Chain A
Amino acid sequence: MTTYIDVSDVSKRFTLRHNRSLKELAVAAIRGRDLGDTFLALEDVSFEVSEGETVALLGFNGSGKSTLLKLISGVLKPDVGSIRTRGRVAGLIEVGAGFHPDLTGRENVYLNGAILGMTEAQISASFDDIVAFSEIERFIDTEVKFYSSGMFLRLAFSVAVHSDPEVFLIDEILAVGDEPFQRKCLDRIRSLKAEGRTLVIVSHDLDMVAKLCDRGILLERGKMVDDSDATAVVARMRGEGA
């Protein structure tokens, strides 16, 4: 199997610095005190994801899941270790991050598609599909600031799932829209999986994750504590939680 994501010995430390006015810098220099408290978000994490795998990143709040996704997408850089990916990686991390309220739905589809790495021709070719999937045909030329939050998220999700990368990183987006739309999103993700796309999913919906993913990686306070079958990892989390 071809490796699509290779994470090796990755650690990431954040500095919690709130203020650095001249006064504070001077005080710190005189007292010889370090300015920041640091916080180890990830420690020595290693794994590989092969082509076509569907991997769930699991863990409770603050375990480092989102940091790991940001490292894989290239938004953050690891302090130690290395990350390598193959092909285009698109983060569905907070869908709608690239949307601007003053642009129309149509303009936002183009802007967001381009942000996610699509070419003009690709966006034009899948434009009708994107709009049809989001079910907001009537409002596509309305400015996005007049959209309801559900409409907004549906359009954003729709652009993201049509962006056609080799690796999808999905962070808590299945919480969008009403139930029929959620089901539609899940169907879409299943069909991506069936096409053999590589998916990395972060979600707190453990039942959904257990059904959707083949493999689960469990993080606990930045350390990787389990890497096995998704159902087994979910059971372990439930066991510990109880």
Chain B
Amino acid sequence: MMPMVTPGIGRGLLDVVERRFLLRLIVRKELRVRYRGSVLGMAWSYVKPAIQFGVYFVALGVFLRMRDTVPDYAVYLFAGIVVMNFFGEGFGNATRSIIWNAPLINKIYLPRELFPVASLYVSAVHFFPQLVVLLVAALISGWRPTVAEVLAAVVGFLIVAMLALGLGLLFGAANVFFRDAENFVDLIVMVATWASPVLYTWGLVQAELPRWLWFVYQANPLTAAVELFHYAFWYGGTGRPALLPNGTAPIPDNLWAVGGGALVVSLVVLVVGQLVFRRLEGRFAQEL
């Protein structure tokens, strides 16, 4: 005999794992719908970052002469950009996913975490072609990875995925009540690219900031993820120099400590996001 249960109360992200068949169908639907009627289709997920990369590379690398201080600046730049694209798309779409799926949420009870998770999944699908481009560029510039470097990429990916999902759950739930949330998200994503060493090197920041602010800068999980990606995909191709031409170290010497800390911070954000989401989800259907 099946037990009596209270309808509409799930186990959050655990239910998503249980209903991964539905998750897969939702992801496939999102991808299909995104590229309907487009000739280039999935190729758009290569075109956009490639153009973005080209613009930055010419403006910063060539005009502002970043190439002179950072060897293989193209790879350096792209390693950071793919992290930020993954974060920005995952976080932004997860935030909007609840509103986008309002017709379904209003009518049928599903674990609502499905929608932010599906958004993150879709952004991961878009992340992989970019990663392929990055790998090719890295190989051409002479990159032969060590085990530690591959591990750094995995840790970096996990940090960004957990952070994007945690923040997406948090802001996605808030967005149901105040649509201001999605505008905040756009701001956060815009600032994030500049608040991490994507376009410049971390050494320049350390030289300018007072000690406490430098600590704050490093506590940003995205900074750690970007540095882990630099270590994973860029550093190996540069011949692993001890110092850059401007006299700073190419990779922070406390990389693993910072990375471990970022992993913990992201996990905390994910737990908080899930708790807030569960607190608010009972009111989604009547507010949408």
Contact = CB atoms under 8 A, between A and B. Distances in A.
Contacts of B9: 74
Contact of B4 (A6, A75, A91, A111): A6
A75 B106 contact: yes
A94 interface: yes
A115 B285 CA distance: 16
B108 A97 contact: yes
B285 A102 contact: no
B178 interface: yes
Interface stretch (B29-37, B48-56, B139-147, B160-168): B29-37
A94 B6 contact: no
Contacts of A77: 8, 282-283
B15 to A, nearest CB: 11
Interface string A153-191: 000000000000010000000000000000000000000
B180 to A, nearest CB: 9
A115 B104 contact: yes
Contact of A72 (B2, B7, B32): B7
Interface string B1-40: 1111111110000000001011001101100110010000
A241 interface: no
User: Which of B1, B107, B108, B109 gathers most chain A CB within 10 Å?
Assistant: B108
A119 B21 contact: yes
Given A103-B29, A111-B25, A115-B110, A73 B104 contact: no
Contact of A102 (B25, B26, B32, B108): B32
B177 to A, nearest CB: 8
A100 B33 contact: yes
A14 interface: yes
A45 interface: no
Interface stretch (A79-87, A194-202, A228-236): A79-87
Contacts of A116: 108
A93 interface: yes
Nearest to B23: A114
Contact of A85 (B7, B104, B178): B7
Contact of A91 (B26, B105, B108): B108
A2 interface: yes
B36 A102 contact: yes
A114 B19 contact: yes
Interface string A50-87: 00000000000000000000111111110000111111
B122 to A, nearest CB: 15
A3 interface: yes
Contacts of B7: 71-74, 83-85, 89
A83 B26 CA distance: 29
B103 to A, nearest CB: 6
B254 interface: no
Given A85-B5, A86-B3, A111-B29, A73 B108 contact: yes
Interface in A1-39: 2-3, 6, 14, 20
A76 B286 CA distance: 7
A53 to B, nearest CB: 16
11 contacts: A72-B7, A73-B7, A73-B109, A75-B106, A75-B108, A84-B5, A89-B7, A91-B108, A94-B107, A97-B106, A115-B104
**4 closest Cβ pairs, A-B complex:** A74-B8, A74-B7, A74-B109, A114-B22
Interface of A: 2-3, 6, 14, 20, 70-77, 82-87, 89, 91, 93-94, 97-98, 100, 102-103, 107, 110-111, 114-116, 119-120, 166
Interface of B: 1-9, 19, 21-22, 25-26, 28-29, 32-33, 36, 103-110, 178, 282-283, 285-286
